[in-house]
A and B are shown apart, each in its own frame.
Chain A
Amino acid sequence: MSLDKVSIIVSKGSLEGVYPALIMANGARMEGIEANVFFTFFGMDAINKARHDAIKVATVGNPGLHLMTWLGGVPGISALVTKQMMKQMEKLDIPPIPEFLELISDSGGKLYACKASVEMFGLTKDDFIPQVESIITVGEFYQMAAGGQINFT
């Protein structure tokens, strides 16, 4: 059986929280699979005009980095690690987050913000990049995702 639709929920505002979702969404479109991305909680930073240019790798509480715990909290470390990682990604032709969101949107992937989170953080649609289709409720998300697979990151 083939997969026709994926709906991906992004709940984290770190680089490693956002990129996998964008890669999965873009990859789905490349295979002709319908893709929805639903940004909630800190994941909304990825579509926030004022913030999506400055998404960073979490260097604290991230054992996968194999950094000494105290070093992760030193000022500038997060920026440095992020810069290194972005350089690596550029080599693989993986775009920065703002461009990646444009690519997904141009590919026909749909971007949504979570209504409860928008209200909680006191945001409006104007805070988001124009590629965001709309602010939707959880119920609307499930209706949209019906018949496909849902992934949470």
Chain B
Amino acid sequence: MSTLTAVARNAEGFLERVEDWDRELALEIAREAGIAELTDRHWLVVNYMRDTYIKTGTAPTIRTLGKESGVQVKELYALFPKGPAKLAAKIGGIPKPKGCI
């Protein structure tokens, strides 16, 4: 039984409420996005996105993500081929990043 069906999500699949998130949900969202397993490297990025959002109210840019998360840009795209910032935000249960960068 999927717990994903029990939480509110927008049309693009982002959680409506940040506080609904847990690691189990993260795994289900990842699988839905075509990422079968979340490795420690994935978690490093997802946690950084989520922590930054909770601390500052905005998700980091891809530039900052590559410099500060501990995972560089090349690897970010290897981990999240369909867009690291967008996917890590979705998996981390925070809103889609609003910036253009």
> Is A78 interfacial (CB-CB < 8 Å)?
no
Q: Which listed residue, A26, A94, A106, touches B72 by the CB 8 Å rule?
A: A106
How many A-B residue contacts, CB cutoff 8 Å? 44
Complex interface: chain A residues within 8 A of B81 (CB): 32
Interface size of A in residues (CB-CB distance below 8 Å): 16
- Given A94-B101, A107-B77, A108-B77: A30 in contact with B66 (beta carbons within 8 A): no
Complex interface: chain A residues within 8 A of B99 (CB): 92-93
CB atoms of A30 and B72 under 8 A apart: no
Nearest CB in chain A: distance from B61 CB, A: 4
Interface members, chain A 49-107 (any B CB < 8 Å): 92-95, 99, 103, 106-107
Interface members, chain B 73-87 (any A CB < 8 Å): 73-74, 77, 81-86
CB atoms of A107 and B62 under 8 A apart: yes
Interface members, chain A 93-151 (any B CB < 8 Å): 93-95, 99, 103, 106-108
Secondary structure at chain B's binding surface: helix, strand, loop or mixed?
A: helix
> Is B100 interfacial (CB-CB < 8 Å)?
yes
CB atoms of B77 and A95 under 8 A apart: no
CB atoms of B86 and A31 under 8 A apart: yes
- Across the interface, name the chain B residue whose C-beta is closest to A28: B83
Q: Which listed residue, B62, B83, B85, B86, touches A103 by the CB 8 Å rule?
A: B62
Nearest CB in chain B: distance from A76 CB, A: 29
CB atoms of A29 and B83 under 8 A apart: yes
Nearest CB in chain B: distance from A105 CB, A: 9
CB atoms of B74 and A106 under 8 A apart: yes
- Across the interface, name the chain A residue whose C-beta is closest to B61: A93
Complex interface: chain B residues within 8 A of A29 (CB): 77, 83
> Is A3 interfacial (CB-CB < 8 Å)?
no
| Given A93-B64, A106-B73; 9 other pairs, CB 8 A cutoff | A23-B101, A26-B101, A27-B100, A30-B86, A32-B83, A93-B63, A95-B63, A106-B77, A107-B73
